Amino acid sequence: MKKSLAAIVILVLSAGAIFALFEVAVTRPGAGAGDVMFEARKGESTRSVARNLERQGVVPSALLFELEMRGCNRGQSVKAGEYLIPLDYSTRQVAELLLSARTWARPVTIREGLTVRETALEMEKAGIMSASDFNEAARGMAERMRADGFPGGTLEGYLFPDTYNFSKSITPMAAVVVMVDTFRKKAAETLPMEVVEDPVALHRLVTMASIIEKETGAGFERPLISAVFHNRLKRGMLLQSDPTVIYSLPSFDGNIRKKDLSYDSPYNTYRYRGLPPGPIANPGLESLAAAWRPADSDYIYFVSKNNGEHYFSETLAEHNRAVITFQIRRGRK
């Protein structure tokens, strides 16, 4: 009896010693300095994660990390994504970080005037997802919205330009939803609710805003550009906007040519009156506001001054003189 009791006491003491050593091992700070970007892949096992952590010098022992995960994860698994891990973290801190699902978010800036395809390429360049996956999600989102009265064929114009922080683990559809929701929020802050809540009226306004966005990068000009197009629509004139033609072309090398102006597309505003079927890019807030509130002006023409700004005219004669001044004569220099 006494021998059995002694054996039990020894076992308890040994277990306690082992536990104490384990606690010391998993709570000891890492010896490195700085941070390391670690990626846990979708469907990856805890054992595989542990081995990769040891291989990258994040934890001293894959076995200790795996034991710590088994002891504290309560059935959880590591969420796929990227994690920025300080190299002075203990094994326990690394486990807690990975179980917290605080994945690293990559910033991506979607500039005003980008198309859906160009937005997809920016997402790919940022390393968040492939352009093809993003484009597919954008098409799927457009189909969902059409069920609620959305008149557009694509999401062109509705992916709000902004700087977003996306985890690499975000799904393409989730990223698209964030951009569309941001558009809805910003539009509601800028435009009257009767426009925001009317899909057809909103689509026309976003279409106008997208043309304004592509026509000028000078903020102060946007209401004037808007006035020109509104005045042309009122008079039944062709909008004759080069960006709409460029949008319709199968390919564009940076130079618009005379033959391009006759390209047959509903987006070609040199051939078809009124607004094109939908937006040609994603406009920013200034262009949305300008589309809603054009300047009080009788201008119906404008021509580039080749310095980022435009010369505006009320008559064709004045416009022709401006073309000679800013385009033809300067082109000869």
Cα distance between the two ends of the chain: 110
Per-residue pLDDT at 20 = 62
Task: Give yes or no for residue 207 having a pLDDT over 70.
Answer: yes
Give pTM, 2 decimals: 0.80
Task: Give yes or no for residue 100 having a pLDDT over 60.
Answer: yes
**CA–CA distance, 100 with 69 (Å, rounded to integer):** 12
Task: Give yes or no for residue 136 having a pLDDT over 50.
Answer: yes
Question: What is the chain's mean pLDDT, rounded?
Answer: 88
Q: At what angle do helices 62-72 and 46-55 cross, to 10 degrees?
A: 140
What is the secondary structure of 161-230 as a DSSP string? -SEEEEETTS-HHHHHHHHHHHHHHHHHHHS-HHHHT-HHHHHHHHHHHHHHHHH-S-GGGHHHHHHHHH
Q: What is the DSSP letter of 260?
A: G
Residue-wise pLDDT tens digits, 142-191: 999 998 889 988 999 999 999 999 988 889 999 999 999 999 999 999 99
**CA–CA distance, 180 with 186 (Å, rounded to integer):** 10
Taking phi first (over 0 means left), then psi (-120 to 50 degrees means alpha), and beta for anything else, what does residue 106 get? beta
Predicted confidence band at 103 (pLDDT cuts at 50, 70, 90)?
A: confident
Per-residue pLDDT at 44 = 86
Q: Cβ(51)–Cβ(78) under 8 Å? A: no
**CA–CA distance, 90 with 26 (Å, rounded to integer):** 6
**CA–CA distance, 109 with 131 (Å, rounded to integer):** 15
**% residues pLDDT > 70 (the chain):** 89
Q: Look at strands 105-109 and 163-167 and give their pairing.
A: antiparallel
- Phi, psi for residue 126 in degrees, rounded to 5: -75, -5
More confident residue, 10 or 208: 208
Amino acid at 263: Y
More confident residue, 33 or 261: 261
Per-residue pLDDT at 7 = 47
Beta-bridge mates of residue 167 = 105
Find which of 71-80, 161-170, 274-283 is predicted with most confidence, using mean pLDDT: 274-283
More confident residue, 51 or 76: 51
Domains, the chain, with CATH or none: 35-103 (3.30.1490.480), 106-190 (no CATH), 205-332 (no CATH)
Mean pLDDT of 77-102: 86
**% residues pLDDT > 90 (the chain):** 57
Task: Give yes or no for residue 230 having a pLDDT over 90.
Answer: yes
